[in-house]
């Protein structure tokens, strides 16, 4: 042990790396490069992702001098839960405080077996990839105040760690605040870690990324060779309307977006799900539904999730469509042989619906907590 410690002291003086951002193979390489035995990596991973330590002192299988070195160089960075709103359906919105005091929301959504006292059969967590968002979609509360900053990989992992106490996660969706493809490296590192067998070990097919259409992200994701699920927020099937609803369309118009989706599917053989939020009087006509069906059929195997708009404070003119409109959309898509589902937001009572995680309410809940001013990022 002494030998290990001496070698550590010499070499472990680089800038600190958060422990929750290091992938299993990287631990091994790093330890071996420092003259430590490879099995230490397994002990470290076991402590982090089986014993769920939040302080290296709890890693009692490790020699003390190694623990000290880890403390200095690989700090564990849990987020502090400062509020938890629970809806009657069991959905919980957690408000987490990051190391710099910024607040991040994540939502935990349980599904129970039918019948009295039914057991929890699924637990989906919706995580944020950024604080605020620079994309500026008209109907989305997350971007209403612009981007504050991106989250680091360990902060995204910290969201998952903070939700552990509410049950064992079965599904993860990156559909909280932020645009994952605008924070690609950190988001992907977090997801790879969450997916790792020696990490939290959540199956890749149970992890879904959602993008508003940041085109370069598609080829990057395809090149990873991973089995993550991909959703694409479409919301309009013609450029004129999509330009208006989603400024990202002005940079990457539909022709480019659909080509990227098609290439992604052809390369990965993986199904893309298009999300279409239906907004009364805006994108809800039969012609819109037909245009959507035509667009989606440009991409082999693609599916559609229809989502009735959740009203947002900053756009009182945007309203939830009546039920027959949702049915009409469903009919048109089905007639066009597009596999379609109507998805309803959960936890509306606590404003926990995906895409509705908002800083402003977070600030309200966290009364008295100091938060930084919001920065705008221009694209
Ligand atoms: N930036 C990514 C991740 C956010 S996912 C993306 O755009 O895909 C959140 C999903 O909820 C997106 O499909 C988003 O368009 C949708 N959404 C946002 N605001 C909404 C609202 N008010 N009602 C219904 N869906 C909304």
pLDDT digits (tens, 9 = 90+) for 57-100: 999 999 999 999 999 999 999 999 999 999 988 999 999 999 99
Whether 191 is in the pocket of ligand 1, judged by its Cβ within 6 Å, is no
Q: For the packed helices 323-335 and 286-296, what is the interaxial angle rounded to 10 degrees?
A: 40
Find the 353 Cα to ligand 1 centroid distance in Å.
Answer: 9
Q: Which protein residue has the closest C-alpha to ligand 1 atom 9?
A: 355
- The single residue listed with the structure tokens 């009295």 is 116
Give the residue numbers marked as catalytic.
105, 354
Residue-level pLDDT at 356: 54
Ligand 1 within 6 A of CB of 283: no
pLDDT reading at 33 higher than 80: yes
Tokens 């009203």 label which residue? 311
What's the farthest any 2 CA atoms get from each other in the chain? 74
| Nearest CA owner, ligand 1 atom 4 | 175
pLDDT score for 344:
81
Query: Using CA of residue 194, residue 196, residue 197, residue 198, what is the dihedral sign?
Result: negative
**C-alpha closest to that of 97 among 114, 80, 75:** 80
pLDDT at 345: 72
Substitution candidate for ligand 1 out of 279, 354, 357, 358 with most atoms within 8 A of CB: 354
Dihedral of alpha carbons 351, 275, 122, 94, sign: negative
The pLDDT of residue 362 is above 60:
no
The yes-or-no verdict on residue 238 having pLDDT over 90 is: yes
Output the CA angle 129-134-135, nearest 5 degrees: 95
Q: Over the chain, what is the mean pLDDT?
A: 89
Quick check: 352 pLDDT over 90? no
Q: In the predicted model, is pLDDT for residue 248 greater than 90? A: yes
Pick the residue whose CA is nearest to atom 5 on ligand 1. Answer: 175
pTM over 0.95: no
∠ Cα 294 339 108 (to 5°): 120
Q: Is 45 in the pocket of ligand 1 (CB under 6 A)?
A: no
Say how far apart CA 304 and CA 140 lie, in whole Å: 19
Task: For residue 376, report the distance from its CA to the centre of ligand 1, in Å.
Answer: 19
Q: Which atom of ligand 1 is least distant from the CA of 210?
A: 8
Closest ligand 1 atom to residue 178 Cα is 1
- Statement: residue 359 has pLDDT above 60: no
pLDDT above 60 for 8: no
CA nearest neighbour of 148 among 101, 185, 190: 101
Atom number, ligand 1, closest to the C-alpha of residue 129: 3
Band (220; pLDDT cuts 50, 70, 90)? very high
Asked if pLDDT for residue 354 goes beyond 50, the answer is no
Percentage above 90 pLDDT, the chain: 83
Nearest residue to 346 (alpha-carbon basis) of 96, 134, 122: 122
- Rounded CA gap, 219 and 263, in Å? 8
Regarding the beta carbon of 277 and ligand 1, being less than 6 Å apart is answered: yes
Residue nearest to atom 11 of ligand 1 (CA): 355
- The residue among 175, 146, 178, 137 whose CA lies nearest residue 318 is 137
Atom of ligand 1 nearest to the CA of 235: 15
Going by alpha carbons, the residue nearest to atom 16 of ligand 1 is 355
Q: Is the confidence at residue 319, as pLDDT, over 70? A: yes
Helix, strand, coil % over all residues of the chain, rounded to 5: 40, 20, 45
């Amino acid at each position: 042990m002494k030998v290990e410690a001496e070698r550590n002291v010499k070499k472990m003086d680089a800038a600190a790396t958060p422990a929750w951002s290091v992938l299993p193979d990287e631990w091994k390489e790093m330890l071996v490069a420092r003259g430590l035995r490879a099995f230490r990596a397994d002990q470290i991973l076991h402590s982090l992702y089986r014993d769920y330590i939040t302080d290296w002192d709890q890693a009692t299988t490790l020699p003390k001098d190694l623990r000290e070195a880890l403390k200095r160089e690989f700090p564990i960075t849990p987020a502090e839960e400062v509020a938890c709103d629970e809806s009657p359906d069991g959905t919980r919105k957690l408000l987490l405080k990051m190391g710099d005091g910024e607040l991040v929301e994540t939502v935990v959504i349980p599904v129970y077996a039918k019948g009295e006292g039914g057991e929890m059969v699924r637990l989906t967590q919706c995580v944020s990839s950024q604080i605020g968002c620079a994309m500026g979609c008209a109907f989305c509360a997350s971007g209403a105040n612009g981007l504050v900053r991106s989250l680091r990989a360990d902060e995204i992992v910290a969201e998952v760690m903070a939700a552990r106490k509410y049950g064992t996660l079965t599904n993860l969706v990156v559909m909280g605040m932020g645009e994952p493809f605008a924070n690609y490296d950190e988001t992907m590192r977090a997801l790879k870690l969450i997916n790792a067998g020696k990490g939290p070990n959540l199956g890749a097919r149970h992890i879904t990324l959602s993008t508003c259409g940041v085109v370069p992200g598609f080829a990057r994701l395809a090149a990873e060779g991973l089995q993550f699920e991909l959703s694409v927020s479409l919301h309009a099937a013609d450029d004129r309307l999509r330009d208006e609803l989603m400024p990202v369309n002005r940079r990457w118009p539909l022709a480019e977006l659909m080509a990227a989706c098609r290439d992604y599917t052809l390369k990965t053989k993986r199904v893309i799900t298009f999300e279409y939020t239906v907004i009364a009087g805006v994108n809800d006509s039969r012609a819109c539904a037909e245009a959507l069906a035509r667009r989606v059929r440009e991409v082999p195997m693609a599916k559609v999730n229809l989502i009735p708009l959740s009203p947002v404070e900053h756009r009182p003119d945007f309203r939830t469509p009546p039920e027959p409109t949702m049915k009409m959309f469903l009919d048109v898509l089905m007639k066009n042989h597009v596999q379609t589902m109507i998805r309803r937001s959960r936890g509306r009572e606590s404003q926990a619906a995906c895409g509705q995680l908002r800083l402003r309410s977070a600030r309200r809940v966290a009364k008295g907590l100091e938060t930084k001013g919001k920065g705008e990022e221009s694209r």
